[in-house]
């Protein structure tokens, strides 16, 4: 009995890095697709969910990202960044397209955000401690969703996905300094949004009246 | 450290980012001295805790299981996988360039071929001029030069046409290329044979002479026995007059350009 000649073909396994799995997937290896999907789907789904607040949008975006990878995975260039960053960049584009197309969320106007960010945020201690854990999480989630897109994506990537400034800059296609300054403004906006209404009034008054200490 | 500088660093401090140790110590010293900045740092730390709680809450979240099967199904059935295609090459442009080049070459070849097809007509026109030149040479020859051997009488081509008494002296198509190149500049014309104007003494011609192109009234053709269209009798017609060394006209022929 003679063994039929078969060309040598590497099988996908979990020890292989993302680049190798992608190459095998593009060559038609279904196992590579499965491994790659299981390895990277959660981050993409969470990113889309945190950006949109909609599980259905997050699901659609995750699917679109992997379909894009199947069709045009050859455009990935390892020299320009890692595959997770590439996938999150693709996911970001799909999310923004959905958000802008469907107007799922109402964002703050630019003049308002600049006005709020420019003022020095003053918050009383124990602001978030007064809330229960579940309430805190829900409040933070809503506050993030109400941020303008450019601040929201920085908070999601740097705070919730815990990516470095460098990785975030790769995904957003901007400078590291831009990421840092946007994050700073985004946190100021979040503190303002999380402040209770009565405290906000007092704080605003205090902010106006108080002279800054330059000790 | 002042409050403005502290404000720039407060997010980094609250997030526990790595920073210069001296800078961190200065910021914390300032925070202990300034109540406003202490409150600011506390608020940032509370926010960091809130964000961290949200992150932990969502860590277990992932895409629905059905999505994986949908993607695998798409991978199998929809044939969405394309082989890795090399980036767009210049092959298309090269192909176009080669096609354009071939078109130009064929065009040039066709133009040359058509040009060569036209050449024999010009040769036809050249021969009368050639004979004209031969006669001129013969008549201009000086007496001391040896008389050239008389060439064998040329056989008139069968295609020679007679038209109202005018002989169209057409050469054979086999006239060599050099002759055609020499006479390319000559105007196409047909001419009659020379008709003697007086009793022609060959010795007078051997001493030399010349041919002069003149214009005569068309009615002059009748004097030499050629038919004349009376509707055009007042038009001019060209003629070559053979003059001897003494300036006497010895012969004449009529020429028609066409």
Residue A50's CATH number: 1.10.1740.10
Question: What is chain A's alpha carbon radius of gyration, rounded to the nearest angstrom?
Answer: 22
Chain B residues touching A50 at Cβ < 8 A: 58
User: Hey, are the CB atoms on B36 and A122 less than 8 Å from each other?
Assistant: yes
A64, part of any domain:
yes
Name residue, tokens 């003053």: A122
Asked if residue A67 and residue A120 are part of one domain, the reply reads no
Tell me, yes or no, if A130 comes closer than 8 A to chain B by beta carbon: no
Q: What is the pLDDT of residues B230-254, one digit of tens each?
A: 787 778 888 998 888 778 888 888 8
CA separation for the pair B40, B7 (Å, rounded): 8
Q: How many CB atoms lie within 10 A of CB A79?
A: 4
A interface test, pick of B54, B76, B84, B88 with most A CB neighbours within 10 Å: B54
Asked if residue B139 and residue B15 are part of one domain, the reply reads no
Residue B250 · residue B244 · CB < 8 Å? yes
Instruction: Provide the pLDDT for residue A130.
Output: 54
- Determine the length of chain B: 258
Tokens of A75: 């455009």
Tell me, yes or no, if B7 comes closer than 8 A to chain A by beta carbon: yes
A31, part of any domain:
yes
Tokens of A212: 């800054």
CA separation for the pair A181, A168 (Å, rounded): 13
Q: State the DSSP code for B183.
A: G
Structural domain span for residue A169: 110-196
Asked if residue A114 and residue A190 are part of one domain, the reply reads yes
Asked if residue A117 and residue A40 are part of one domain, the reply reads no
Average pLDDT, rounded, for chain B:
74
Q: What percent of chain A has pLDDT over 90?
A: 36
Residue A160 · residue B55 · CB < 8 Å? yes
Residue B144 · residue B206 · CB < 8 Å? no
- Residue A91 confidence (pLDDT) above 90: yes
Tell me, yes or no, if B27 comes closer than 8 A to chain A by beta carbon: no
Interface pTM, i.e. ipTM: 0.73
Structural domain span for residue B42: 1-52
Of A133, A190, A213, the CB nearest to B36: A213
Q: What is the pLDDT of residues A129-162, one digit of tens each?
A: 555 778 888 889 999 999 999 999 999 999 999 8
A12, part of any domain:
no
A174, part of any domain:
yes
Structural domains counted in chain B = 2
Tell me, yes or no, if A151 comes closer than 8 A to chain B by beta carbon: no
Asked if residue A94 and residue A162 are part of one domain, the reply reads no
CA angle in degrees (0–180, nearest 5) for B54-B56-B62: 95
Tell me, yes or no, if B83 comes closer than 8 A to chain A by beta carbon: yes
- Residue A29: phi and psi, rounded to 5, are -85, 115
SS3 label, residue A6: coil
CA separation for the pair A77, A80 (Å, rounded): 6
Chain A residues touching B88 at Cβ < 8 A: none
Q: What is the pLDDT of residues A18-56, one digit of tens each?
A: 888 888 888 888 888 899 999 999 999 999 999 998 899
Q: What percent of chain B has pLDDT over 70?
A: 65
Asked if residue A135 and residue A88 are part of one domain, the reply reads no
């Amino acid at each position: 009995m003679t063994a039929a000649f078969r060309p040598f073909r590497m099988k996908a396994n979990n020890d292989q890095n993302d680049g190798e799995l992608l190459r095998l997937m593009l060559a038609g290896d279904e196992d590579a697709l499965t491994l790659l999907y299981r390895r990277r789907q959660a981050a993409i789904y969470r990113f889309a969910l945190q950006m949109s607040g909609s599980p259905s949008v997050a699901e659609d975006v995750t699917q679109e990202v992997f379909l894009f990878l199947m069709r045009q995975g050859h455009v990935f260039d390892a020299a320009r960044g890692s595959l997770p960053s590439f996938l999150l960049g693709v996911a970001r584009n799909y999310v923004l397209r959905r958000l802008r197309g469907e107007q799922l969320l109402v964002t703050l106007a630019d003049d308002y955000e600049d006005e709020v960010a420019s003022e020095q945020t003053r918050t009383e201690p124990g602001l978030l401690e007064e809330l229960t854990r579940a309430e805190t999480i829900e409040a933070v989630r809503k506050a993030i969703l109400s941020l303008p897109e450019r601040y929201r994506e920085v908070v999601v990537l740097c705070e919730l996905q815990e990516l470095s400034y460098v990785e975030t800059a790769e995904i957003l296609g901007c400078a590291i300094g831009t990421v840092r300054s946007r994050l700073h403004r985004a946190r100021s906006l979040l503190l303002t949004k999380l402040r209770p209404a009565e405290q906000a009034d007092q704080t605003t008054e205090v902010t106006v009246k108080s002279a800054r200490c330059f000790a | 450290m002042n409050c403005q500088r502290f404000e720039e660093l407060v997010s980094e401090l609250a997030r526990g980012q790595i920073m210069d140790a001296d800078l961190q110590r200065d910021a914390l010293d300032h925070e202990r001295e300034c109540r406003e900045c202490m409150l600011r740092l506390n608020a940032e730390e509370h926010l960091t805790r809130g964000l961290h709680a949200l992150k932990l809450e969502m860590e277990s979240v992932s895409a629905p299981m059905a999505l994986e099967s949908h993607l695998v199904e798409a991978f199998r059935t929809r044939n969405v996988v394309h082989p890795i295609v090399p980036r767009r090459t210049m092959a298309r442009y090269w192909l176009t360039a080669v096609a354009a080049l071939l078109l130009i070459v064929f065009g040039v070849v066709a133009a040359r071929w058509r040009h060569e097809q036209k050449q024999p007509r010009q040769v036809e026109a050249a021969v009368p001029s050639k004979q004209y030149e031969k006669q001129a040479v013969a008549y201009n020859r000086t007496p001391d030069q040896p008389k050239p051997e008389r060439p064998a009488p040329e056989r008139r081509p069968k295609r020679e046409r007679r038209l109202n008494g005018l002989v169209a002296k057409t050469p054979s198509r086999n006239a060599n290329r050099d002759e055609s190149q020499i006479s390319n500049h000559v105007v196409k014309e047909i001419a009659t044979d020379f008709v003697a104007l007086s009793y022609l003494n060959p010795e007078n011609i051997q001493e030399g002479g010349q041919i002069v192109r003149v214009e005569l009234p068309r009615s002059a053709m009748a004097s030499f026995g050629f038919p004349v269209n009376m509707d055009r009798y007042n038009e001019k017609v060209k003629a070559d007059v053979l003059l001897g060394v003494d300036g006497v006209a010895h012969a004449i022929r009529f020429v028609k350009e066409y």
